[in-house]
Structure 1
Amino acid sequence: IVVALVCAFVPVFSVEEAEAKTLWDTCLVKITPKCALNIIAVVFGNGTLIESCCQDLVQEGKVCHDNLIKYIADRPSLIGRETQYLKKRDDVWSHCVSISKTA
């Protein structure tokens, strides 16, 4: 479900297709579909972060989080607000790291 949703958001990759597939395969297995959708809703909409998803996000890792959100933000219909999305991406990451340190 997540792969289909993310692929719908990201029809064209900014890197080689094989490299992108490896990234997706490596990153998406580290996060639950529920949490992936929640984080996408927070970054690209007005979703409310489910704090239990922070553990999944931190486990996924910053490189995966940064790259996956960047791929979505690079979509032509979203690129005009890319700076805003990348800031929200970083805010979500910082929040999740701070929560996971106190848990």
Structure 2
Amino acid sequence: MAKFTSQVAMPFIFVAVVCAFVPVFSVNESEAKSLWDTCLVKISPHCALNIVAVVFGNATINDSCCHDLVQEGKVCQDTLIRYIADRPTLFARETLYLKKRDDMWNHCIAISKTA
């Protein structure tokens, strides 16, 4: 039951975090549904917050979130981060955010290979 609740709550938390960082966040309905169904269910709410904090802040990702991120997959990570980074309020630093995204991915792949 707790796992189901976590899986249901996580997408809501992720969307709330994204909206807090990006008030003008919007994707068309079919893209949002596709991302919801294929990407957001694979990662915990804690890790979603951690990933956003790493890319758009100065946090460091913990090892357990690295495993969740790798399970989510590179395509999902790239798509979700690009949606956030493309917002007008963040666009000027998009290159930095995409580099941080790629650095985080490479770090997580290395962590996953050692586990």
TM superposition score normalised by structure 1 = 0.90
Which structure 1 segments of 5+ residues have no match?
A: none
1:56 aligns with 68
| Alpha-carbon distance, 1:7 to partner | 4.0
* Count of residues in correspondence between the two structures: 101
1:77 aligns with 89
1:43 aligns with 55
Partner of 1:97: helix, strand, or coil? helix
More helix by share: 2
2:25 aligns with 11
| Alpha-carbon distance, 1:48 to partner | 1.7
Percent identity (aligned): 72
Which structure 2 segments of 5+ residues have no match?
A: 1-12
TM superposition score normalised by structure 2 = 0.81
2:111 & 2:85 partners in 1: Cα distance?
A: 25
Q: Report which of the two structures shows the higher radius of gyration computed on alpha carbons.
A: 2
| Alpha-carbon distance, 1:57 to partner | 0.2
Residue 47 of structure 2 corresponds to residue 30 of structure 1: no
Write out per-residue CA displacement over residues 5-52 of structure 1, whole angstroms, 9 at most, x where no aligned residue: 224436222xx4212321133211000010011011000001121121
